[in-house]
Amino acid sequence: MSDYPYNRGKTSGVSNDQQISRPVRRHLLHVYLTIAAMLAVVAMGAQYGNSSSSLQAVSGGVIEVGAVLGSVFGIRHLRQDHPLRWVLLFVYSLFSGVSLSSLVSLYLYWDPTGRLLLGAITGAMFIFLGFSASALLADRRSMLYYGGMAGGLLGLMAWASLANLFFIRSASMFSAELYLGLIAFAGFVVYDTQMIVERASVGWMDIPGNALELFMDLFALFVRLAMIILRREERREDEQDRRRRRRGPRQERGYEF
């Protein structure tokens, strides 16, 4: 009985340590709202890229890559309260959307209704929100090892990509890289979410930097999921073409009979 107050205090201390404080929750809300605004800018960038395909053809993508890399460098190296970081964040979003314009155009050419594109966007959002929510609901610091696993998986993918590019040249290997990349960046969503919580808990509340980290994970998830869906539809269309070609000679022989 004499140990009861001590045990109760110890248990409540652990409980409080595992809970996310109100300032951290407010910070997370601002981060997710910033990501939502970035997605709107990405949509505008993709629309601009579709309407200025001649500019992309002339630049060869150099302008887009330079703007994206320069924005990331500025966001990560300017001091935390510098207002230019917000400008660079939305420059990054705009040119990320421009870089997606060719993929979006391919999707709309393949499916003018836009259902495949909507499915890829919805799927990426569900994966992102699901894994981010799981990181928030889990015990704090319990999933930080996901970062090491995801980083190791990306390293393995990099070597596999080089081997496939120069030696193997297998379509199956490329498909495996897409699925492994999807798994790796889902792990990064969990890791980055818990790292944001831990940093915010000690007072480092960097909204542009944190939004950039999670947005990069979401962007990578969408690109890989979009490629997986597109390759699946291409295989399905090829299979239907083969079936039509096989039926064609049979029908001609039937008419001759």
pLDDT for 203 beyond 60: yes
What's the pLDDT band for 60 if we cut at 50, 70, 90?
low
- Report the C-alpha gap between 56 and 65 in whole angstroms: 11
| Domain spans of the chain, in order of start | 22-234
How many residues make up the chain in this entry?
Answer: 257
Query: What is the 3 state secondary structure string of 59-128?
Result: HCCHHHHHHHHHHHHHHHHCCCCCCHHHHHHHHHHHHHHHHHHHHHHHHHHHCCCCHHHHHHHHHHHHHH
Tokens of residue 20, six digits: 């996310």
C-beta separation of 41 from 97 below 8 A: yes
The one-letter code for the residue type at 127 is I
DSSP 166: I
- Report the C-alpha gap between 190 and 209 in whole angstroms: 16
- Tell me which residue of 200, 185, 147, 182 sits closest to 31, measured CA to CA: 200
pLDDT tens readout for residues 87-120: 999 999 999 998 888 888 888 888 888 888 899 9
What's the pLDDT band for 33 if we cut at 50, 70, 90?
very high
Tokens 């001590």 belong to 6
Give CA 99 to chain center in angstroms. 14
What's the pLDDT band for 248 if we cut at 50, 70, 90?
low
CA-CA distances (angstroms) from residue 154 to 54, 147, 159, 188, 191?
Answer: 34, 10, 9, 10, 14
pLDDT tens readout for residues 153-198: 777 777 777 776 677 666 777 777 888 888 889 888 999 999 999 9
Q: Mean pLDDT highest for which of 38-52, 55-69, 126-140?
A: 126-140
- Report the C-alpha gap between 16 and 22 in whole angstroms: 12
pLDDT at 1: 42
Tokens of residue 33, six digits: 């709202």
